[in-house]
């Protein structure tokens, strides 16, 4: 399982993220130091020449879980942030990409769409965890349907 995140690659933001990742014991999947996230030129080079889409991080105790920092997504991060669903998970505010943005991100990365996020038909998007269907609901209504425990 992986969790994809979009990180604005500004110096202060990356510094805060790297510090938090180190405090959580996250280490890069690639054989490179986590500080590489601070080197946008290297990341751009890897993105262009090696087609690196994400900088993966893993925690030693979370077998099989990878945190993928999406590099240079095709969507403006501020627009992505504005359209995101706002959820409260165990008292922590979390933003989840809107379905259209999720589809665009997966298509840009060349990853196949799973049946439960297929754009056809877009009116019936199934939420895997509880089987709830979202049918053209408002952002607030969609959040109410997502039952995260």
The last residue of a domain, from among 14, 49, 70: 70
Same domain? For 139 and 114 the reply is yes
H helix or E strand, kind and range, residue 79 = helix 77-83
Domains identified in the chain, total number: 2
Q: Which of 70, 97, 124 is the last residue of a domain?
A: 70
Average pLDDT over residues 9-33: 91
Give the total residue count for the chain.
Answer: 149
Average pLDDT over residues 78-88: 87
**Residue 14: closest CA among 47, 39, 33, 45:** 39
Q: Which residue has the higher pLDDT, 141 or 2?
A: 2
Q: Which two tokens stand for residue 148?
A: 């995260």
98 with 141, same domain: the answer is yes
Quick one: 38 and 90 in the same domain?
Answer: no
Distance CA 6, CA 77 (A): 7
Question: Is the model's pLDDT at 23 over the cut of 70?
Answer: yes
Q: Provide the domain limits for residue 18.
A: 2-70
The whole-model pTM stands at 0.68
């Amino acid at each position: 399982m992986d969790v994809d995140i979009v990180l604005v690659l500004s110096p202060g933001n990356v510094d805060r993220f790297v510090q938090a990742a180190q405090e959580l014991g996250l280490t890069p999947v690639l054989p490179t130091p986590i500080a590489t996230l601070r080197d946008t030129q290297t990341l751009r080079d890897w993105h262009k020449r090696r087609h690196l889409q994400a900088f993966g991080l893993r925690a030693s105790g979370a077998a099989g879980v990878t945190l993928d920092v999406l590099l240079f997504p095709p969507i403006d991060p501020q627009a992505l942030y504005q359209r995101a669903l706002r959820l409260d998970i165990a008292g922590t505010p979390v933003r989840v990409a809107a379905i259209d943005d999720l589809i665009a991100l997966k298509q840009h990365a060349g990853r196949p769409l799973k049946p439960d996020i297929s754009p056809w038909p877009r009116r019936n998007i199934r939420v895997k965890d509880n089987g709830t269907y979202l049918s053209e609901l408002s952002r607030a209504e969609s959040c109410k349907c997502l039952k995260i425990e």
